[in-house]
Amino acid sequence: MKVLITGGCGFVGSNVAIFLKKRNFSVSSLDNLSRKGSLFNLKLLRQSKIKNYKIDIGNYKKIKKIPKFDLIIDCCAEAAVEVSRDELDRVFDTNLVGTLNILKKAKKDKSKVIFLSSSRVYPIELLNKSYKFKSFKKSINTKKKINEDSSIQGARTIYGFTKLASEMLIEEFGYAYNIKYIINRCGVISGPLQFGKQDQGFVSHWIWKHINKSKLSYIGYGGHGNQTRDVLHVEDLCNLLILQIKNISKIYNKLFVVGGSTASYTSLKKLTFICQKITKNKISLTKKPKTSIYDIPCYISDNSKVSKVYKWRPKKNIYSIVKDTYIWLSKNKKNIKKYF
């Protein structure tokens, strides 16, 4: 099977590309190399004999000229929520026009599509209501989980909007042009090959700061570090994608919530503790009580549907995720420094 991975030099894309290549898929990538770190991942792709088409996903004239693929896995986005508020044109071109272009290409070539969506499609108000802090000093109640039927009514960040609108476009193309698709609404994903920043890839960012003994801050919710997210190891995601690819002729046009769920979640405070244990470094942590209007207290995915359909569940807990990411970051410290 010929697979094109858009954003193939990004964190998720490069992991998926290398994973599929090892399993004898014919894999290519489409990435304009705009993300810091994508050049590092490109070298790994080249070592695995994976070609990258250096094309902007907003440029359909160029996209339509590349060969035909059986499946497109769309891992291309500007995924930082704060950036999405500041760089509207670039974010709409990449995240929304990009999806449209991939769908036009899929329509032309009769390709199937797997789309990586985001938990940020859920409205901020829903998440604020679902995960109320009794006191910022106490950990949050993580029993409430978000599933496919949770409300999508309300503002959600510009990034989240582009992901939701992309989902809708995919559904329209599925209906109008018989494109078989799968949409995965993912919570936080982490693991090796991630060049984390404060608002995108916080687990990798946290570990990197610990390795380098730099400063960090608990931002928002009183500055106590109790905000919480579920985290999915990218390898667990790759294992799910393989199941989805193998079954896509039978199981298609479905949307799944996918995340670490209760098998793997962490508050920032707990993450600090794990980082201290693994890196053996203790760093200075300041409190910044106020946060962005885009911040949310907690997010935990309900994996029930995806687990039932594919008999899949995440195997790696938060400790393993931190450990695997730490091993990769520390081993490559010298070569990757310039990308952070």
Ligand X SMILES: NC(=O)c1ccc[n+]([C@@H]2O[C@H](COP(=O)([O-])OP(=O)(O)OC[C@H]3O[C@@H](n4cnc5c(N)ncnc54)[C@H](O)[C@@H]3O)[C@@H](O)[C@H]2O)c1
Footprint on this chain of ligand X (rule: CB under 6 A):
7, 9-13, 31-35, 38, 56-58, 75-79, 94, 116, 118, 186, 188-189, 201
DSSP state for residue 200 in the 8-state scheme: B
CB of 187 to ligand X, least distance (A): 7
CB of 13 to ligand X, least distance (A): 6
Cβ closest to ligand X, residue 7 vs residue 297: 7
**Nearest-5° Cα angle at 112, 108 to 118:** 115
CB of 256 to ligand X, least distance (A): 13
Helices and strands counted in the chain (H then E): 14, 13
Phi, psi of 175 (to 5 degrees): -75, -50
Distance from C-alpha of 201 to C-alpha of 20, rounded to nearest angstrom:
23
CB of 148 to ligand X, least distance (A): 15
Question: Sheet holding 112-118: strands in order across?
Answer: 51-53, 26-30, 2-6, 71-74, 112-118, 181-186, 254-258
Cβ closest to ligand X, residue 83 vs residue 211: 83
Locate tokens 């936080």: which residue?
188
Cβ closest to ligand X, residue 189 vs residue 241: 189
By beta-carbon distance, which residue lies closest to ligand X? 10
DSSP state for residue 184 in the 8-state scheme: E
Cβ closest to ligand X, residue 224 vs residue 326: 326
Cβ closest to ligand X, residue 3 vs residue 77: 77
CB of 276 to ligand X, least distance (A): 23
Q: Name the helix (H) or strand (E) containing 37.
A: none
Cβ closest to ligand X, residue 223 vs residue 236: 236
Cβ closest to ligand X, residue 90 vs residue 144: 90
**Nearest-5° Cα angle at 12, 6 to 13:** 30
* Residues 155/126, Cβ–Cβ less than 8 Å: no
Cβ closest to ligand X, residue 185 vs residue 209: 185
Locate tokens 């193309």: which residue?
173
Query: What SS3 class is residue 110?
Result: coil
CB of 99 to ligand X, least distance (A): 9
* Residues 86/53, Cβ–Cβ less than 8 Å: no
CB of 209 to ligand X, least distance (A): 18
The 3-state DSSP composition of the chain as helix, strand, coil percent (nearest 5) reads: 45, 20, 35
CB of 284 to ligand X, least distance (A): 26
